[in-house]
Amino acid sequence: MKTVSFRRRYLLPLAALVVLTVSGAGAHAASSHFPTRIVSLSPTATEDLFAVGAGKQVVAVDSYSTYPANAPRTKLSAYSPNAEAIAKYRPDLVVIASDMNHIVAQLGKLHIRVLIQPAAANLNGVYAEIEQTGKVTGHVAGAKQVVTTMRRKVAALVRSVPRPTEPLSVYHELDQTYYSATSHTFIGQMYSLLGLRNIADKASSTSDYPQLSPEYIVATNPDLIVLADTVCCGQTRATVSARPGWGTIKAVKTGEIVAVNDSIASEWGPRIVLFLKAVASAVKTLENQSK
């Protein structure tokens, strides 16, 4: 059961501390060759690798790396990784998000380099990881371009949303038993960027990903509901509107229920811009309605 808490989007994001672990005593660290056979066991890392232009160097990605579609998806597991199964792809670099099953030590015995890129704590962490991916794979310029574009788009989106004196409130839903995310989390910070008030913050003393009471959600009457449980749990605007008692919520009345793909809202790579865009456009619609 314990492993559950390691689900990435439920992890308290560690500081954007990115560790490059080199096998042995760092003997290979000075190697000037860029890796040509990369295995990624992290959906975010897969996205980053392809974004910076290192896609051709990637030989295998784990079973949950669903984006981009042309990534060489395999049955490799990121949650219970097996060193032998990974070694079968003869990688010269393995990118992981967390050291499950002591995989770093295991791969170290096989003299395989490991790059740990934990879930980023904030946007700067995302940029740093993309730049690091570029540096390690030999695509510094590509990475720089990705980051510059992201920065520009994010800034434009942040500028584009209106800032009413009374900030709009948002409820971010992780599953249909009302788990949510506070502003301490990466996804919560996205709402802060757009000037939204996160209703989960009142419960931040318990956890960064608290389970909210449905009474509280209905009573707080959020202006906006963001569903990050459309794929996992089949939630839609219709299922939310049909929940007993939820009909009185503003977001349900106005229909401002943003359904996002779970993976976009939980993989903190370049596609986070899409998430911001979806939320920002809902905010703009709401503001236009109130005028």
Partner 1 sequence: MIEATAERRSKQCWRCGRTFGCADGEPGCWCESVLLCRETLAELRTVADDCLCPACLGALAEPEPSERRRWAKAVPHVAVRARGVPFPWGLAALAFLICALLVGLAMGPISIGAGAIAESALSHLPWLHVHSPLGATDQAIVWQLRAPRVVLAALVGGMLAIAGSAYQGVFRNPLADPYLLGVAAGAGLGATLAIAYASAASRSGELLPLAAFAGATVAVAAAYVLGRSVGGVRNAGTLILAGVTVAAFLTAVQTFVQQQRSDTLLEVYSWLLGGFASASWHNVVIVAPYIALSSLVILLHRRVLDVLSLGDDEAASLGINVRRTRLIIVVAATIGTAAAVAVSGLIGFVGIIVPHTIRLLVSTSYRAIVPLALVLGGGFLVLADVIARTVMSPAELPIGVVTAFFGAPFFAVVLRTTRRLGA
Site residues for partner 1 per CB under 8 A: 1, 3-4, 7, 10, 64, 77-80, 174-179, 202-203, 205-207, 210-216, 218-221, 230-235, 239, 243-248
The least distance separating partner 1 from the CB of residue 239, rounded to whole angstroms, comes to 5
The least distance separating partner 1 from the CB of residue 98, rounded to whole angstroms, comes to 13
Q: Tokens representing 123?
A: 């946007």
Do residues 270 and 146 make contact, with C-beta atoms less than 8 angstroms apart?
A: yes
Q: Which is nearer to partner 1, 137 or 180 (CB)?
A: 180
Q: Which is nearer to partner 1, 1 or 25 (CB)?
A: 1
Contacts for 54-57: CB closer than 8 Å, 24+ residues apart: 54/133, 54/134, 54/137, 54/138, 54/139, 54/142, 57/137
Give the contacts of 169 (CB within 8 A, at least 6 positions apart): 196, 197, 198, 199, 220, 221, 222, 223, 224
Alpha-carbon span 35 to 25, nearest angstrom: 19
Q: Which is nearer to partner 1, 23 or 180 (CB)?
A: 180
The least distance separating partner 1 from the CB of residue 9, rounded to whole angstroms, comes to 9
The least distance separating partner 1 from the CB of residue 206, rounded to whole angstroms, comes to 4
Q: Which is nearer to partner 1, 84 or 215 (CB)?
A: 215
The least distance separating partner 1 from the CB of residue 178, rounded to whole angstroms, comes to 6
Q: Which is nearer to partner 1, 221 or 285 (CB)?
A: 221
Q: Residue 81 carries which side chain, given as an amino acid letter? A: P
Alpha-carbon span 224 to 250, nearest angstrom: 8
